[in-house]
Structure 1
Amino acid sequence: MKLSFLEPLYKQSGPFASVYLDTSRDAGIEDPDAAIQLRWRHLRDALMAEGADRNSITAVAGTLGRDTDIPGTHGQAVFTAHGRLALLDELPAPPARDTAHFGTLPDTMPLIVQHAPAIPYLAVHVHYGGRHSTDATGTVRIEAEVGTWPLTRVTPGHRLDEEIPVGDWTRAAGEVGRELEGHARRIDVETVVVAGDVWARGILIHRLPAALRGQVTTVEGAGESEPGRALLEQRLESLLTGRMAAHDRALLDAFLAERARDGAFAEGLAPAVSALQGGRVKALFLNDHPESPFRLWVGPEPGQLALAEQELRTYGIREASEERADTALARALVGTRAELVVVPEQEQWLSEGVGVLLRYADPTSRA
């Protein structure tokens, strides 16, 4: 997964306030806005205890909970720099717990993890309830959306919505298929999920361009899509939860191949840090452990990170602070334009939860 969406944040200097809050407005909550404000007050106290300035507090308070147009369960991630809003991101799912941190670096790893697996897809719902014949009356309605899962749960992708007379459906399905292919190519979709009437969707599928047709998975019982949420959201969740994006899978396969031949790889925190210091990392693989006790020392620049403060001092770096390891790794990845692959531990266990695919082999980077 590319982390370019974080580059504008890291171009700013700290200190940063980083806040993650559940902003869901479920029907079962009597006064969701009051509940959100109560949770925010607890986080505000935590920020103030860590030394956050009044402008930072005000900037966060003016942003949290403003996502009233997003239905269902979700959350917000808010970052400020020098008292001004630096980044706002809607979270596809509520954070595991509400958190707030004020420090030298922004706490971005929980946000990054919520972007995973970042699977580009096309969802299509073919609405039709009439007689299965082209001489029937009525219309076939096509709803389609291209997006990246799971972000489209809270940030809808490009939508297509058309109605076509049943009598024209056989001919028009080919035109719709070509239009869908054009949208799919723009984001290089790797899966096409089609729901709806079996007869009408069958005609569409058989008239899709061959490359797109080979990516189709049909699903039943899609139901109506909720405004402001992803088309076929529940079916997509069933299909894509626990799955890695094809691009990330290819990177992991390359890492495992290099490890098997003792080639351009490193595993463990210390070797990964050494590779990041030299800008030699192509992709970093992470078993996400929010409770991890590992910490690193960092300097002002992305590649300035080390296991011990003295190492940074040896390099002549005077400004150093101790940070969570995942926070330091995230900044280094963005700064060196390396990719991150969040790997479920049951998929691939990594020593100390970290492995890297190197841009070139270097035996000294091994543990």
Structure 2
Amino acid sequence: MKLSFLDPLYAVEGPVASVFLDTSRDIDDPDRAIELRWRHARDKLAAEGADRATLSALGDAVGADREVDGPHGQALFAADGRLLLAQVLPRPPARDTARYSRLPDVMPLVMQLAPDIPYLVVVITREGLTGADGAAPLEADSIVVTLQGGRWPASTVAPEPVSSFALPAAQWQQGAARVTATAEQAVRDNGSEVIVVWAQQGDAWPKGVFVNRLPPELQRRVVTVEGEEPPRAAPGRSLLEQDLANLLDNRLGDRDRTLFDRYLAQRSRHGDSSEGMAAVVRALQRGQVQALLVNDQPGLSSARLWTGPEPTHIALSEEELKAFGVPSVAQGPADSLLIRAAARTDAELVVVPHEELALKDGIGALLRYTTPAP
């Protein structure tokens, strides 16, 4: 996963307020519940020194996701009276948190946005046309196709617009070409790795026509799911949300899989320079990391590291940084310092399911280059 979306958080001088709130609205009186959650967060930020303008900027954004149905949350970041980043979370945070600190608290955010897999949903239904009395179906019917792209899981609660087509069934063989052309363009636009095609049970023909019109390369990306009733997305949520979860949760995207496989090859040759906190910190100091790998339950929030003004000023001890000539050093949460160093040295992030590989200290690094052993 690219980390460039975090750049606004590192472009400011001074402390950043980071807030994670459960803003689900599937409860009685959700507005009151959200207001109470925000009040506790605001009080904590104020006690840590957050200024009124920054608190006001955050307060204006709290609950702005009210159009999103079902369980979810918000991640909000502000500094100097400005909202820097607002992200609707696919899931409520494990707990509400608020922190006013030198560096933003971003690990809970990036963990929720992984694995960041681009996809395209295609829903194909057949709709019969009824007579004037609303009962007797006419002979004619229509094939209705709905397309929606996205990136899993972020677009669960930030769905992209849909494209819809309706053609008489008798013209579907010829008309499908226009639909598949639109699907091909959508795949090119977002790099869809998976094309999820929903079809009605017992009606394989419309789906078959669509899939067979796709180029062979795209046909290999197709996964078919079936159902009896046409799917309907809840307000503010993506089509086929549960089917996407079944297919894409705990899966690495194509880019992440490539980086992970390269990491495994590197680890077999240079294990000591690839895995664990000490090795990763050394590599980040040199700007040597191409991809930072973390387990999906990294346990890094309780660890502490030392840092200076620059992202590569990161070390296990105060003495080490001072030996490098860093004039001003401070201690901070390891997860925040690691993500900043990775983001500001153009490293990518790969969240590795613990079941697939348990990393030492929950962390590893794919290196841009290796250095000879002394």
TM-score clears 0.5: yes
State the distance in 2 between where 1:20 and 1:350 align: 27
Question: TM-score, length-normalised on structure 1?
Answer: 0.93
Kindly provide the CA deviation profile for residues 32-62 of structure 1, in whole angstroms up to 9, marking residues without a partner as x: 0000011111112221232222222222112
**Secondary structure of the structure 1 residue equivalent to 2:208:** helix
Contact 2:272 2:279 in 1 (8 A): no
State the distance in 1 between where 2:53 and 2:373 align: 46
**Secondary structure of the structure 2 residue equivalent to 1:128:** strand
Match of residue 294 from structure 2: 286
State the distance in 2 between where 1:97 and 1:152 align: 22
Q: Which runs of structure 2 are paired with 1:219-298 in the superposition (5 Å)?
A: 219-221=225-227, 223-262=231-270, 265-287=273-295, 288-290=297-299, 292-298=301-307
State the distance in 2 between where 1:196 and 1:41 align: 46
For residue 145 of structure 2, the aligned residue among 142, 145, 152 is 142
State the distance in 2 between where 1:45 and 1:309 align: 32
Match of residue 68 from structure 2: 70
Q: Does 2:153 correspond to 1:155?
A: no
Deviation at 1:157, TM superposition (A): 2.3
Contact 2:127 2:144 in 1 (8 A): no
| Cα separation, partners in 2 of 1:208 and 1:238, compared to 1, 3 Å | same
Q: Does 2:314 correspond to 1:305?
A: yes
State the distance in 2 between where 1:283 and 1:363 align: 20
State the distance in 2 between where 1:199 and 1:136 align: 17
Q: How many residues align?
A: 360
Kindly provide the CA deviation profile for residues 68-101 of structure 1, in whole angstroms up to 9, marking residues without a partner as x: 1212211111111123211111111111111001
Q: Which runs of structure 2 are paired with 1:15-164 in the superposition (5 Å)?
A: 15-26=15-26, 29-130=27-128, 136-164=139-167
State the distance in 2 between where 1:104 and 1:96 align: 23
Kindly provide the CA deviation profile for residues 172-228 of structure 1, in whole angstroms up to 9, marking residues without a partner as x: 112211220111012211111001233221221121221111111111226222232
| Cα separation, partners in 2 of 1:38 and 1:20, compared to 1, 3 Å | same
State the distance in 2 between where 1:224 and 1:145 align: 12
**Secondary structure of the structure 1 residue equivalent to 2:56:** helix
State the distance in 2 between where 1:237 and 1:113 align: 15
Match of residue 207 from structure 1: 213
**Secondary structure of the structure 1 residue equivalent to 2:88:** strand
Give the stretch that moved more between structures: 207-216 or 269-278: 207-216
Kindly provide the CA deviation profile for residues 210-252 of structure 1, in whole angstroms up to 9, marking residues without a partner as x: 1111111111226222232111111111111111111111111
Contact 2:298 2:363 in 1 (8 A): no
State the distance in 1 between where 2:366 and 2:61 align: 38
State the distance in 1 between where 2:42 and 2:72 align: 20
State the distance in 1 between where 2:235 and 2:30 align: 19
Ranges in structure 2 where 5+ consecutive residues have no aligned partner: 130-137
Ranges in structure 1 where 5+ consecutive residues have no aligned partner: none
Aligned-partner residue type, residue 194 of structure 2: T
Deviation at 1:130, TM superposition (A): 4.3
| Cα separation, partners in 2 of 1:192 and 1:324, compared to 1, 3 Å | same
**Secondary structure of the structure 1 residue equivalent to 2:67:** coil
Kindly provide the CA deviation profile for residues 239-297 of structure 1, in whole angstroms up to 9, marking residues without a partner as x: 11111111111111100011112389511111111110110111111013346421111
**Secondary structure of the structure 1 residue equivalent to 2:298:** coil
Give the % identical residues. 47
Match of residue 180 from structure 1: 183
